[in-house]
């Protein structure tokens, strides 16, 4: 299992991994409360993170192994739409500037911990809240799986866990990393990834800035990089012209042309709409101190979009450097191993693995909070104490990671970006309940539920029917728009059906005077800020104990 491992690479990697492990357990004492036995402390870090901490936390939350592994791998494989991740992270920040402060206000006014809490209060429907919660949990598991895939390919490139026919030999290092993640998440809650995010982001910025300046310089400059990529793709297309014409192969390129432009645009828009529907993104936002922190972060987080653009280009750099790997996910780790000195390669590998651990921890916490508040407390134990809620979340945060392992073992890992895009198909179906609900109560609660069910069913069916060279089902995020030869992102088609069903049924149900429930929120709740009457304060150690 340790064949061909460079001792220096391994030593540096292990040192940095142990460092963040220690920080993960020590985080329980950072900004310490006397007890973590309530969801405000364990699951939201005391609701008191300011701009600086929130920037690292939210950035560490949404820039994941998807960014470090999956996006460059897509470009390395020659996908003409692979660069969609860059415009989508540009589009998303104006969107969150508009609606997330409203969600923060109403959540802090009423003590909501999850987006499903808000849905229940707004629509007076535990069933609708349950649907939103279960969707969040389901969509989060393939996203966590993507983080585990990112860790796995790094370990394989290092020579740890690869080359054996026995799955239990290949996956033991992944399971160990998984166990460490589970342990400090259980112990420290949201404080662990918040503290580790400082180390993660510092390492990532260091590695990427060195990579985009040093490696292209060694290869003859960016002009040579793009020339090599163009030649490589042209050669592939000419050698496989017959297969491409027969639809048996996909042409490679750097720019989407013709119908592929709609695929590119729909992936960018759908992903932007979906990103802050994920429970882990909302968890990071609700942990902040006030509305201004969210607005400032919406203005500052595009710095990560610049980083993402540089990371994506490393897929092209790997082609120019002559990197040859069967699994495209290994392209960037293999590039680092080939081009960096052993000690800095160890730093780079640690940066990627730590960059996967941080969001995986936040995702598991967010999914566990959904279970606790909107399943356990709503249907199983209506009178659960704060301590019982915290215990439930801690245990379920472990179980969610096991669910993610199912996705890792069941689906192809050759194009791990599909894991995240599959989650996007599901989580986008919660947008009407959450985002539209922040602005209007016009949609009927049962119409919203019916729209969600229609979108989930059709989106899942379309995704199930997509085949790829490596798997028969769930092979990609794109399908032909009905009646055309133009491919679009499945999530947008499902959302369109969702909205149509919700709007039509709302008219019908209102005409039939079906009970709409009682809205527990008021207009002023959506503008409340820190210090206003009734707004949840940052928990002090004393209030955390007696909450």
- What are the structural domain ranges in the chain? 7-219+256-411
- What whole-number distance in Å separates Cα of residue 317 and Cα of residue 375? 47
Round to the nearest angstrom and report the end-to-end CA distance of the chain. Answer: 49
- What whole-number distance in Å separates Cα of residue 513 and Cα of residue 501? 18
Q: Is 472 exposed, middle or buried (0-12, 13-18, 19+ CB in 10 A)?
A: exposed
DSSP characters for 226-271? HHHHHHHHHHHHHHTHHHHHTTSS----SS--TTHHHHHHHHHHHH
Q: Considering the entire predicted model, what is its pTM?
A: 0.87
pLDDT at 461: 93
pLDDT at 323: 92
pLDDT at 437: 95
* DSSP three-state, residue 479: strand
pLDDT at 458: 95
Cα–Cα separations (whole angstroms), residue 217 to 76, 90, 220: 19, 28, 5
Whether the Cβ atoms of residue 127 and residue 447 lie closer than 8 Å to each other: no
Cβ partners under 8 Å of residue 81, min gap 6: 256, 260, 263, 264, 267
Q: Which residues share a beta bridge with 49?
A: 288
- What whole-number distance in Å separates Cα of residue 224 and Cα of residue 222? 5
Task: Say whether domain 7-219+256-411 belongs to CATH 3.40.50.150.
Answer: no
Return phi, psi of residue 49, to 5°: -75, 135
Helices (H), 276-341: 279-286, 291-300, 302-320, 331-339
List the chain pLDDT tens, one digit each, 547 residues: 455 778 888 899 989 988 888 887 777 666 665 556 667 777 666 677 777 787 777 777 777 777 788 889 889 988 888 888 889 888 888 888 888 999 999 998 998 989 999 999 999 999 999 999 999 998 888 888 778 778 888 888 888 765 554 444 556 666 777 777 777 777 777 777 778 888 888 888 898 889 988 999 999 999 999 999 999 999 988 988 888 787 677 888 888 877 788 999 999 999 999 988 989 888 888 888 888 888 888 888 888 888 888 888 999 999 999 999 888 888 999 999 999 999 999 999 998 888 888 888 888 888 889 999 999 999 998 888 888 888 888 888 878 877 776 666 665 555 556 667 788 899 999 999 999 999 999 999 999 999 999 999 999 999 888 877 666 777 778 888 888 888 899 999 999 999 999 999 999 999 999 999 999 999 999 998 877 766 755 443 333 333 3
Would you mind telling me the total number of residues written for the chain in this entry?
A: 547
pLDDT at 417: 62
């Amino acid at each position: 299992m340790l064949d061909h491992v460079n001792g220096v690479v391994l030593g540096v990697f292990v040192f940095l991994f142990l460092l963040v492990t220690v920080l993960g357990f020590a985080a329980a004492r950072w900004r310490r409360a006397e007890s973590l036995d309530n969801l405000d402390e364990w699951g939201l870090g005391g609701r008191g993170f300011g701009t600086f901490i929130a920037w690292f936390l939210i950035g560490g939350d949404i820039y994941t192994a998807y960014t470090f592994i999956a996006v460059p791998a897509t470009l390395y494989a020659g996908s003409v739409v692979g660069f969609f991740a860059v415009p989508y992270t540009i589009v998303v920040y104006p969107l969150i500037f508009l609606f997330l402060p409203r969600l923060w206000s109403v959540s802090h006014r009423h003590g909501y911990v999850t987006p499903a809490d808000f849905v229940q209060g707004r629509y007076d429907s535990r069933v609708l809240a349950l649907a939103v919660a279960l969707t969040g949990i389901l969509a989060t598991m393939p996203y966590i799986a993507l983080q585990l895939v990112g860790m796995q390919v790094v370990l394989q490139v290092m020579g740890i866990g690869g080359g054996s026919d026995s799955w239990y030999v290949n996956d033991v290092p992944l399971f160990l990393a998984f166990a460490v993640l589970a342990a400090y998440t259980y112990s420290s809650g949201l404080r662990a990834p918040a503290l580790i995010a400082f180390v993660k982001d510092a390492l990532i910025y260091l590695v990427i800035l060195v990579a985009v300046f040093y490696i292209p310089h060694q290869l003859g400059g960016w002009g040579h990089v793009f020339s090599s990529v163009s030649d490589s793709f042209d050669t592939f297309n000419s050698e496989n012209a017959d297969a491409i014409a027969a639809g048996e192969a996909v042409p490679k390129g750097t720019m989407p042309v013709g119908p592929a432009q709609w695929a590119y645009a729909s992936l960018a828009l759908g992903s932007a709409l979906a990103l802050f529907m994920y429970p882990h993104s909302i968890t990071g936002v609700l942990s902040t101190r006030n509305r201004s922190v969210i607005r400032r972060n919406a203005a500052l987080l595009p710095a990560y979009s610049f980083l993402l653009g540089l990371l994506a280009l490393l897929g092209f750099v790997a082609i120019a450097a002559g990197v040859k790997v069967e699994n495209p996910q290994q392209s960037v780790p293999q590039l680092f191993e080939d081009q960096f000195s052993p000690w800095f390669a160890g730093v780079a590998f640690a940066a990627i693995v730590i960059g996967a651990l941080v969001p995986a921890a936040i995702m598991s916490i967010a999914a566990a909070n959904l279970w606790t508040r909107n399943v356990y407390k709503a249907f199983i134990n209506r009178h659960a104490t704060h301590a019982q809620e915290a215990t439930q979340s801690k245990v379920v945060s472990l179980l969610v990671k096991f669910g993610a392992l199912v996705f890792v073992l069941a689906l192809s890992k050759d194009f791990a970006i599909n894991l995240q895009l599959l989650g996007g198909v599901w989580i986008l179906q919660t947008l009407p309940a959450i985002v539209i609900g922040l602005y209007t109560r016009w949609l009927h609660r049962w119409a919203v539920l019916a729209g969600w069910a229609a979108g989930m069913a059709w989106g899942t069916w379309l995704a199930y029917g997509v085949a790829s060279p490596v798997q028969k089902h769930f092979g990609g995020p794109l399908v032909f728009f009905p009646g055309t030869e133009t491919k679009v992102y499945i999530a947008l088609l499902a959302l369109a059906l969702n909205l149509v069903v919700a709007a039509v049924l709302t008219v019908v149900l209102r005409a039939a005077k079906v009970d709409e429930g009682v809205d527990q929120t008021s207009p002023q709740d959506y503008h409340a800020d820190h210090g206003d009457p009734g707004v949840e304060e940052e928990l002090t150690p004393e209030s955390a104990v007696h909450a």
